[in-house]
Amino acid sequence: MTWTYAPAPESAALANLQPAYRPFIDGEFVDGNGSMKTVNPATEEVLAEVGTASADDVDRAVAAARRAYETTWGPMPGAERAKYLFRIARIVAERARELAVLETLDNGKPIRESRDVDVPTAAAHLFHHAGWADKLEYAGLGPSPKPLGVVGAVIPWNFPLLMAAWKVAPALATGNTIVLKPAETTPLTALVLAEIAAEAGLPAGVLNVLPGAGDIGAAVVAHPGVAKVAFTGSTDVGKQIQRTLAGTGKRLTLELGGKAANIVYDDAALDQAVEGVVEGIFFNQGHVCCAGSRLLVQESIADELMELLRSRITTLRVGDPLDKNTDVGAINSRAQLDKIVDLAAAGDAEGARRWTSPCPLPERGLFFPPTVFSEVEQTMRVAREEIFGPVLSVLTFRTPAEAVAKANNTPYGLSAGVWTDKGAKAMWTGRQLRAGVVWTNTFNRFDPTSPFGGMGESGFGREGGRAGLAAYLDG
């Protein structure tokens, strides 16, 4: 019997969307030097006008952050800093619905994910680090670890609030102050986070948020008053930043691109492996640096796995991100959609076999259907380049050694997945994989206690856990 789920949209009004947003500098929202429009990718309609920062604003923000570091935040005992962070975490949790809807409007991700992953994980990160603020002497980083000063943080558009929390929480917990540049296409939740910080009474200058384009990010990174740079984004920009910082003595952590292998052995729990493959690549429309974008499946089960996978992908509901039943939302920007279309065309041209989910797509907005390329070979662009979209490349292997060789045949090294019912095989494979994060029998799970970060062209430094604190402290 056909049973069609009626639309179940979350109310857009919950986002408390304002017509205009402004940069947050030295404890106040100030007029920007210019302005940009942020767009809802599901409709391509303008959501709000956002004031952008100028180079002068970067100077003012860094100076304010420096002053706060020297006069209020830096000298403050950890137990006192913790109170502010707990307060911010609690307000984020209290305003979770508002933040989730706003994130979905600005980013295009399904409300199910912003509600169940982005916002709760952001709050968890803040709570976790609040707990560290008065215990840094016991983090194993030396008897009296010291903060670095002003942190310049530049974050991407795929998890706007979560990435802001990943930078702000450890920076502030360790006694640093921060100048945060949110992504050009998704500035809104970071600015609401600033509002929350103000509501929590955070001293002026401790957190500054500067919306703008890449030039503002570059100015933040290059600013001589910045002691540490934390960047999450593309490998190309990461390399530019590393060049800029060479010889300056600034500390740097980079969390960049990925082309993660998801290895499915023939003794895996097949149905759950299918779930993990789907979660690995279609979570957040595949706009995930650690996405499991290369499926490596053992030849002996390849046909069966592909059949199950296609039928599972067919059940994914693509559409209105605000609909609570949507599994795959909108592509964040026209530029990103063009890139996905272009790389998928390269897959066709190089002889990979394209399969597209027969799901209906909305008539307007930026959407790309879940897509699987099979018969992919190691040398093809769809096996080597990060697509950052809902496109899975499938390769096969015969032995564990071949699986590992193929998995490691990439300049990236952010994450990987291993699917097997055999513990020893999972452990062996994990040890061979050149990746910062290896998930076994699961994928795309994040926890503030677990360090996250890459190897090779996926960057260096860790976020989360004890290792994450080290990036913000001098031992």
Partner 1 sequence: MTTTVPAPLADAVRDESALRRFLFGLPGVDQVGLERRSAVLATRSIKKDAKLQAIDMAVSMIDLTTLEGSDTPGKVRALCVQAMRPDPDQPDVPPVAAICIYPDLVEAAVERLRGSGVKVAAVATAFPSGRASLPVKLADVAVAVDAGADEIDMVIDRGAFLSGRYGQVYEEIVAVKEACGRAHLKVILETGELAGYDDVRRASWLALLAGADVIKTSTGKISPAATLPVVQVMLLAVRDWHRATGEYRGVKPAGGIRTAKDAIRHLVAVNEVAGPEWLTPDLFRFGASSLLTDLLRQRRTQTEGHYSSTRYIGSA
Residues that bind partner 1 (CB under 8 A): 1-8, 112, 116, 267-273, 275-276, 307, 315, 324-325, 421, 441-442
Q: What is the rounded distance in angstroms from the CA atom of residue 201 to the CA atom of residue 263? A: 48
Distance CA 381, CA 399 (A): 24
- Phi and psi torsions of 294, nearest 5°: -115, 110
* Residue from 234, 235, 204, 240 nearest 222 by CA: 240
Q: Report the C-alpha gap between 89 and 196 in whole angstroms.
A: 9
Whole-number Å distance between alpha carbons of 38 and 46: 6
CB of 390 closer than 8 Å to CB of 368: yes
CB 356 within 8 A of CB 370: yes
- Comparing CB distances to partner 1, the nearer of 206 and 301 is 301
Catalytic residue among 103, 289, 290, 386: 289
Question: Residue 10 carries which DSSP code?
Answer: P
Q: Which is nearer to partner 1, 232 or 298 (CB)?
A: 298
DSSP string across 85-117: HHHHHHHHHHTHHHHHHHHHHHH---HHHIIII
Cα 292 to the chain's mean position, in Å? Answer: 14
Q: Name which of 324 and 339 has its Cβ closer to partner 1.
A: 324
Q: Which is nearer to partner 1, 317 or 466 (CB)?
A: 317
User: Shortest distance, CB of residue 179 to partner 1, whole angstroms?
Assistant: 37
Q: Which is nearer to partner 1, 40 or 444 (CB)?
A: 444
Residue 295 Cβ, how far from partner 1 at the closest point, in Å?
A: 16
- In angstroms, give the least distance from the CB of 148 to partner 1: 38
Please name the residues in contact with 57: beta carbons below 8 A apart, sequence gap of 6 or more: 23, 25, 30, 32, 33, 210, 216
Residues in the chain: 475
Least distance in angstroms from the C-beta of 301 to partner 1? 9
Which of the residues 255, 386, 457, 463 is marked catalytic? 255
**DSSP assignment letter at 118:** I
For residue 474, the tally of other CB atoms under 10 A from its CB is 16
Give CA separation, 384 vs 250, 260, 409, in Å: 32, 10, 9
Residue owning tokens 């960057």? 459
What residues contact 423, with CB distance under 8 A and at least 6 apart? none
CA distance 289 to 387: 10
Nearer to partner 1, 72 or 325 (CB): 325
* Closest to partner 1 by CB, 275 or 350: 275
Residue number with CB closer to partner 1 (226 or 273): 273
Tokens of 332: 């964040």
The residues pairing with 229 across neighbouring beta strands, listed in sequence order, are 152, 252
User: Any catalytic annotation for residue 290?
Assistant: no
Give the DSSP per-residue string, 264-312: E-TTS-HHHHHHHHHHHHHGGGG--TT---EEEEEGGGHHHHHHHHHHH
Provide the phi-psi class of 20: left if phi over 0, else alpha when psi is between -120 and 50, else beta.
Answer: beta
Closer to partner 1 at the Cβ: 255 or 327?
Answer: 327
Catalytic residue list: 255, 289
